[in-house]
Chain A
Amino acid sequence: MKKRSTLFLYVMLAIPIGLMMIPTVIVLAVAMVPTGVAFIMERGKGYYGGLTVGAMNLAGASPYLADLWTQGHTVAVALGIITNVFAWMMFYGAALFGWAIYSTTPAAVSAFMTMTAGQRITGMRAQQKELVMKWGPDVESVYEPPGAAAAAAAAAQEHATAEPMAPKR
C-alpha cells in the first residue's frame, strides 16, 4: 500500500517536470533504450548491468544533451538530434561499450585475485617452513574445517557398516 502511494507520488512529480523538459525527455527516451533493455535483462541479478550500461549510455548522450540545452531547449532541436544517425551511433555505441565493461571486469578481477592468492599461499608456506625449521615438526598441524571431522567419521561408519558385496562371477 505504502509502495503504491510512493510510486504515485513519483509519477505526480515526474509528470510536471517531464512536461517542462519535453525536448530532453524526447532525446533521452530514444537514447536510453539500451539502458532499459539492460535493466530488464539483468533483472534479479542486481542492477550493476543497468547501472554500467546506463552510465555509459548517458555519457554517450551527453554531447547531444549539451547541444540541446545550449542551442535552445526546443522540440525541434530534439527531433533534429533523434533523427541524426550519428547521434544514434553515439548513443548505442556508448551503451555497447558499457556492456563490454560490465562483461569483462569480473574476469579481470578474478584473474587478479587468483594471482594475489597464489602469492600469499607461497608466502605463508615459507613462513610455515621457517617455523618448522625453528621449532621442529611438532609445531605442524593440519587444519580441519568445522564439520569435516564429523563428516569423515560418518563416512567411515557408513563404510564400516556397509554389507560386503559378494564378488560377481
Chain B
Amino acid sequence: MAEAATDLRQPPAQPRAAAAPTLVSVAAAPAAAPVASSSATAPAPTPTPPPTPQSSASGSFIVVRDRFTLYCDRPIPALDMPNALAYEVVDRKQEGRPLYALVCKPEMPTRVSVMRILKGLEIPAVLHMVDWGVAEWPLADRKCVIVIYHRPLGGRVMDTMASTFKRVPDHQFARAIIKPIADGLVELGLKGIAHRAIRPDNLYYMDEQRTKIVLGDCVTSVAAHDQPVVLETIESGMANPSGRGGGTHADDMYAFGATVLMLAIGRNPLQGVPDAEIIRRKIQTGSYAALVGDERMPVAQIECLRGLLTDDTEQRWAATNIDLWLNGKRLTPIQAKAESAAQRPIRFADQEFHSIRPLSYAMYQNWEKAISIISDGTLEIWIRRGHEINELADGIDSAIKSTGAMSMMGGNKGDTDDVIVARVLMLMDPKAPIRFRDFRCFIEGFGQALAIAMLRKQKLQPFSDFINRELWRHWLGAQAGKIAADNQQYETVFRDLKNYLKDPNSGAGIERCVYELNEWQPCMSPLIENQYVMEVKGVLPALDASAKNANTKLWPVDRHVAAFLRARYAKGTGSQIDSMNDPRPDRATIGMLSVLAIVQWRLGPEALYGLAGWVGALMGPVINSYQNRNKRKDLEKEIPKLVRKGNLAELYNYLDNPEERQKDAEGFAWSKAEYAAAEKMIYDFEHGQMDRQESAIKLGRQTGAVAATLIMFVTFVVVLMGKLL
C-alpha cells in the first residue's frame, strides 16, 4: 500500500478547484503545444465519461506527475480502448517523444497490480507503459486512472474485429508476427502476468513502416473483459465478460492462437456469428475446426495453430513451444480425447444429443426446459445407460435430492429448480463457469464481476445468491482435478463473505465483499467516488474535499467507507466501526467520530478543516448524551474551537473524556436520587393530612399540659415566695 501511495501521489486534501497544482493542473494550452494529428481532430466515438472534450480556441490540458502534459481537447479515437479514451500527451522532459494517454472510464476497474509491474518495463513486443497515475480529469469532473504509453506510430494491425488484414506472405508470417508476440508472451509469463487482451484490434505497429508489431494495452479494463468470444477458450467464452477471472498463460496462448489464425486468414472467419453459436461450434467440433471452418490455412502454420487452439489446457502450447517450433522442432499436438458419445441420443429442445457437454450447453441455453429432463430422471438414465458414467449419474441424483431436501426447509420451487439446474450443469461440464440463469462467472472472476456490477449500479442479487446458495461450494465439489489447498482457500474466503452478507451493520454486507475480493478497488462511496481513493490514507483527504458539496446531514462514514476501511485497515478501525454500529445514537455517533479520528491520528493529515466542520455538526447526539445542561453548553461552545483546529482526534478525546462522562453520570445519579427524595417528602406532606391532624392534636395536648404544669410551678413559687418573704 505504501508503494501505491507513492505511485498514485494523491493530492493533499483541498477543494477540487484548487487541486494540487504541483501534481495535476488544468490550464490554457501553452503556445508550444504540439499540433493535433488529423485523427485527433475527429470526435471521440464514445460519449460516456470521460466525455468527448469540447474543442476550444486555447484548449485545456492537465499536467500529470509534473511531467506529462495531457491535452484534453486532442483525443486520438484511433487509439481508444473499449474502456479508455486516448489523448495526446507531451513529455516535458523529453519533448518529441511519441506518447499517448489512455484515460480510463470510471465504471471499469483497472488492473492496478499489473500496472505496478509493467510501469517503466520495456518488454519486447509489448506496448511500453511509461507511467500511470490517478489524476483529476476535467472532462469527467472527477479523478480517473490515466495510463501513459509509447505511441504506436503505425496504428492498429486491424482497426476493428470486422476489418480485414493484408495478409503477410507465408514465409514471413512466423518471423514477422508469431515470433515477436511469442517473445513478448514469454516475458510476460516470466513476470507472472496474463495479458488477457490479445486480439487483432489490440495489436499495433510501433513504427510508421508497420514492421514492428506489439501487444496493446491490457490494464484499462479487468482481464479478458473486452475479449470477443471467438478469441476466448470455450469455458471463458461461456462466462460473462466481467466474470472471466484473471486467467492464465494458457488462456493468453489460446487468444494468441486465435489472433494468429485471423491474421493468417486476413479476417475474422466467424465475424457476424452469434456468440452462442461460436461456443456451440467450438464444443461440437473443437476450437481449431470451428475457427478454421472451410478456410484454407497456410500449411506452415497449421501445426502451431493446432497447438495453440487445443481445447485441452494441459496440452496447449506454451510460448516456449513456439520458440521450439520456430527452430524447426516438430511438436505435433496430441489430439484431445473425443467426448464419449452415447449410441442412443437424448432429445432435448428439439435436438438430439449424443455427448454430455453439448447437451449441457444446450440445457444452459434452454434453462426453463432443463429442469424437466432432470426432474423426470431422463437425463440420469441416459447418462447411466448411454454413457455408463454411474459416478456422474449418482452425482446428479444426489444434487437433486439434497437441493430438494433443502427446499423443504424453505424457499420457493422456482429457486430450487434453478439451483438444481445450476448444480447439474456444474457436474455435466465442470470446466464451465458457474451458470445460474444470466449469471455466468468463474470463481476467481467473482470479485471483479461484483465490482463491475456495483460500479454500473446493476442488480446485486445474483451475487448474494451465489454466496448464500453456496454455488461456489458445489462448483468446487464438481472440480475433480482441483488442488485441495485451492479449494480450502476458496472455502475460507467464501465462508467469510457469507458472514459479511449476514451482517447488516456498516463495515459488512455486499460492500465489504467487494473490497475484500478486489485489492485495488477504489472506494465507491458516493461521497468520495469522484476522488478515486484506492488506499486508506486517501479517505480522509477525500472526505475533507467533499465536505463542501456533500449533504452534511449524512454521516461521512457511510456503508462504503466503513466497508473500505474495514477491508483495508481492519486492525486499525475494527473496534471503532463496531462501536459505530451501536444502537444508541450517541455511542454510534462517537463511534463514527472515533473511526475518523483513529485514521487521522495514525495516517494523517494533521488538519482536516472541512471534515472536522462536517463531523462537528453531527455531534448533537453526543452532546445530548451528557445529562448536565451546563456541560452541554460548554461542549457547544468548545466544539467550534476544536473544529477550527481540524484535529478529529482532539475532538474525539474532548467529547469522549471518560472522567467527564463518569462525573456526569455520578452527578446525574445523585440528582435523580435527590429529586426522588424530595418527591417522596412532598408526597408525604401532601398526602399526610390526617396523620398530621392527629399528631397536631397529640402535640397540642402535650404542649398544653406542659404549659399548665409550668404555670402551676411558677404560681406556687411566686405565692410561696410572697408569703415567706
On A, residues with C-beta under 8 Å from B are 46, 48-49, 51-56, 58-59, 62-63, 66-67, 70, 98, 101-102, 104-110, 113-114, 117, 120-121, 124-125, 127-128, 131-136, 138-143, 145
Whether the Cβ atoms of A105 and B712 lie closer than 8 Å is no
Chain B interface residue count, CB cutoff 8 Å, equals 46
List A contacts of B324 (CB < 8 A): none
The docked-state distance in angstroms from the alpha carbon of A37 to that of B714 is 24
20 contacts between A and B (CB under 8 A): A51-B709, A55-B711, A56-B708, A62-B712, A70-B723, A105-B701, A106-B704, A110-B692, A110-B693, A110-B696, A114-B692, A124-B681, A124-B682, A128-B679, A131-B674, A134-B671, A135-B671, A138-B627, A138-B668, A139-B671
The docked-state distance in angstroms from the alpha carbon of A125 to that of B672 is 14
Given A66-B720, A135-B627, do A106 and B701 touch, yes or no (CB 8 Å)?
A: yes
The docked-state distance in angstroms from the alpha carbon of A105 to that of B705 is 10
Given A124-B681, A143-B680, do A101 and B672 touch, yes or no (CB 8 Å)?
A: no
On B, residues with C-beta under 8 Å from A are 627-630, 667-668, 671-672, 674-676, 678-683, 685-687, 692-693, 695-705, 707-709, 711-712, 714-716, 719-720, 722-724
Given A105-B704, A113-B692, A145-B683, do A59 and B628 touch, yes or no (CB 8 Å)?
A: no
The docked-state distance in angstroms from the alpha carbon of A27 to that of B723 is 18
Contact of A141 among B628, B676, B698, B701 (CB under 8 A): B676
Given A113-B696, A136-B627, do A56 and B671 touch, yes or no (CB 8 Å)?
A: no
Whether the Cβ atoms of B672 and A139 lie closer than 8 Å is yes
Whether the Cβ atoms of B703 and A105 lie closer than 8 Å is yes
CB of A68, distance to nearest CB on chain B (Å)? 10
CB of A1, distance to nearest CB on chain B (Å)? 32
Contact of B707 among A62, A63, A101 (CB under 8 A): A101
List A contacts of B630 (CB < 8 A): 134
CB of B660, distance to nearest CB on chain A (Å)? 15
Whether the Cβ atoms of A139 and B679 lie closer than 8 Å is no
Contact of A143 among B679, B701, B723, B724 (CB under 8 A): B679
Apart from A58-B716, A70-B723: 17 A-B pairs, beta carbons within 8 A: A48-B704, A48-B705, A52-B705, A55-B711, A58-B712, A59-B711, A63-B719, A102-B708, A105-B701, A106-B696, A110-B692, A120-B685, A124-B682, A131-B671, A133-B629, A134-B630, A135-B628
List B contacts of A52 (CB < 8 A): 701, 704-705, 707-708
Whether the Cβ atoms of B675 and A117 lie closer than 8 Å is no
The docked-state distance in angstroms from the alpha carbon of A114 to that of B703 is 17
Give 6 closest A-B pairs by Cβ, nearest first: A106-B700, A110-B696, A55-B708, A48-B701, A105-B700, A109-B700
Whether the Cβ atoms of A135 and B712 lie closer than 8 Å is no
Whether the Cβ atoms of A110 and B700 lie closer than 8 Å is yes
The docked-state distance in angstroms from the alpha carbon of A54 to that of B712 is 9
Whether the Cβ atoms of A106 and B699 lie closer than 8 Å is yes
Whether the Cβ atoms of B703 and A134 lie closer than 8 Å is no
Given A117-B692, A143-B676, do A101 and B668 touch, yes or no (CB 8 Å)?
A: no
Contact of B628 among A55, A104, A132, A134 (CB under 8 A): A134
The docked-state distance in angstroms from the alpha carbon of A120 to that of B684 is 11
CB of B273, distance to nearest CB on chain A (Å)? 75
